[in-house]
Amino acid sequence: MSNQKQLNQMMKQVQKMQADMAAAQDALALATVEGSAGGGMVKVVVTGSGDVQSVRISRDVVDPDDVEMLEDLVLAAVGDGLRRAQELAADKMGGVTGDIDLGGLGNLLG
């Protein structure tokens, strides 16, 4: 296959990957995951793109004399939610970029 044909094929693959990535990013913005801490006493909803949408705190965990514990639980729940959102994003984006073959790029440039 000529270098020009290889380059054209590779450009088509890159354009498809860009479109697939944009679609995956749109889907991630709509997808949500839930992080929690304290056995579910604090729950956080996070989008696949990492935006925290809501925080729910059980009344049972609210102790005016121990605000630090509540702060720690909220922090842990947000961290859990963000970690889950990152895992979701890695899964979705990995599927988009995993099937493109740019191996011929080295041949074209070399």
Give the pLDDT of residue 61.
93
Q: If residue 61 lies in a helix (H) or strand (E), which one and from where to where?
A: none
* Summary mean pLDDT of the chain: 85
- Output the CA torsion sign for 79, 85, 89, 91: positive
* φ and ψ at residue 10, rounded to 5 degrees: -65, -40
Domains and CATH numbers, the chain: 3-98 (3.30.1310.10)
**Contact in structure between 85 and 47 (CB atoms under 8 Å):** yes
Q: Which pLDDT band, with edges at 50, 70 and 90, does 56 fall under?
A: very high
